[in-house]
Amino acid sequence: MVCRSVMLFAGAVGLSLGLSFSSQWSLAAHNATPTLTKEMIAEHIKTGEMEASPLFQTQAQRRIVFANTSYFAPVNQIERSTKPLTLSNNFRDFSALTYEVDGERFSLESFLSSDALMGMAVLQERDVLFEHYAPDHGPASRWISFSVTKSVSSMLIGVALNDGYIRSLDDRVADYLPRLAGTAYGEASIEDLLHMGSGVEWNEDYEDPESDVSIAGALNGIALTRYLGTLPRMNAPGEVFNYNTGEANLVGEVLRSAIGMNAAPYLAAKIWQPFGMEHSASWLLDAPNGRETGGCCISASVKDYARLGLFAMNDGVLPDGTRVLPEGWMRASTTPFKGEADYGYMWWLLGDGRYQASGIFGQKIFINPSKKVVIAVHSNAASATGSDYANHLNAVLEAIDNAI
């Protein structure tokens, strides 16, 4: 059960777009059946009565799976700080706030009642302006991040550059992964990977069982590089954006090769503990005692999501003044790639200097440096992307930001 579930779980980051979900159990049934537990779900996965992949589970099932990643799949733990960064409650009244979707106006209160919203924290610097949780969620609840993790992996590349493990973003992938020498990926630079602009052909068609993402979206290690090494070049490196799950996981391979250790303890030592994360987190592995999935699946509390936003907004400077990221790293990370104006180093760009880490089903770290605002969100939307909830969430983030 664990091997099957982890492969599918890790592959969820690759199957991130354009999917809808069948419903054996409705959310209403979940609310009416409080006896649904992680043990029951694990048994249903084991017997094949239920999909192991959260992509094909119902909202009710995912509501439990997303909060208990380490129960269903192997993970590396990321231990909390012994000196958490203090956040002060300075709550504001947003009860009158409204927002617009498709020409219709809605209240923030109506959004907060959505079954898909699990947790939200709004910070301005270290002040908590607003905080909300679903009844079965709370400040200490972990929740899976999906592609929010890509932005963390990007920052870890910056940390490794600052530490001297990586010489330059112009270095070729083959400099760190010699087994890719002589392949199209071997000639791509680290910066090309961060932009998802390697120029290598990759088919991210989630409904095609023969597509690259269907075959290799969950791979890591030798299996990943063996597969990527067979792919042809379609464009010159650094020119064309192509959202690519394999490329995100390859960033994780480059990172581990450069630092000579797994990513989770490096994250713990360089950011999680010294910046003052309040709760322990976890990072999905591709197999027991395996490798972290570079493009997916750190599980953390909502206010630790927000603290990651503060770390980014501070350009990687710790509370004691120690610089962890190279100076100007986040400015470079949020400079538009010439092949895609809305993308930087694995951050989505929103205009006016704002940017966000974004994951399927509605996970967010929204950052507006000019206002010192960070908004972190845990969600369980009805579908991975393109849901009505996603449209409302994006409008709510804009409305809250505008109100501050």
**At residue 393, what is the residue type?**
L
Confidence grade of residue 362 (pLDDT, cut at 50, 70, 90): very high
**E strands of 113-222, at which residues?**
117-124, 127-133, 143-144
**The predicted structure's pLDDT at residue 207:** 67
Read off the pLDDT of each residue in 295-321 and give the average, rounded to a whole number.
Answer: 97
Distances (CA, A) of 264 to 80, 132, 153, 156, 333: 12, 28, 10, 10, 21
Q: Please name the residue that has the structure tokens 């880490």.
A: 357
Q: Are 89 and 56 a contacting pair, CB within 8 Å?
A: no
Question: Rounded CA gap, 104 and 298, in Å?
Answer: 35
Question: Rounded CA gap, 366 and 306, in Å?
Answer: 9
Question: Rounded CA gap, 398 and 225, in Å?
Answer: 40
Q: Are 136 and 234 a contacting pair, CB within 8 Å?
A: no
Model confidence over 18-69: pLDDT tens digits?
Answer: 222 222 223 333 333 346 788 888 888 888 888 787 778 889 999 999 999 9
**Residue 129 phi, psi dihedral angles, 5° rounding:** -90, -25
- The DSSP symbol for 200 reads B
Candidates 386, 399, 376, 388; CA nearest to 118 is 376
**The predicted structure's pLDDT at residue 234:** 95
First-to-last alpha carbon distance for the chain, in angstroms, is 47
Confidence grade of residue 206 (pLDDT, cut at 50, 70, 90): low
Model confidence over 108-138: pLDDT tens digits?
Answer: 999 999 999 999 999 999 999 999 999 999 9
Read off the pLDDT of each residue in 150-164 and give the average, rounded to a whole number.
Answer: 98
| 258: pLDDT strictly greater than 60 | yes
**The predicted structure's pLDDT at residue 170:** 98
The structural domains of the chain, ordered by start, are 2-75 (no CATH), 88-154+261-403 (3.40.710.10), 170-257 (1.20.58.710)
Candidates 264, 265, 268; CA nearest to 80 is 268
Read off the pLDDT of each residue in 324-350 and give the average, rounded to a whole number.
Answer: 98
* Relative orientation angle of helices 245-259 and 221-228, to the nearest 10 degrees: 120
User: For 35-49, 308-322, 372-386, which range has the lowest pLDDT when averaged over its residues?
Assistant: 35-49
User: For 92-101, 211-220, 295-304, 356-365, which range has the lowest pLDDT when averaged over its residues?
Assistant: 211-220
Contacting residues for 135 by C-beta, under 8 A, at least 6 apart: none
| 337: pLDDT strictly greater than 70 | yes
Question: Rounded CA gap, 228 and 249, in Å?
Answer: 11
Distances (CA, A) of 125 to 27, 122, 199, 309, 313: 36, 10, 39, 10, 9
| 143: pLDDT strictly greater than 50 | yes
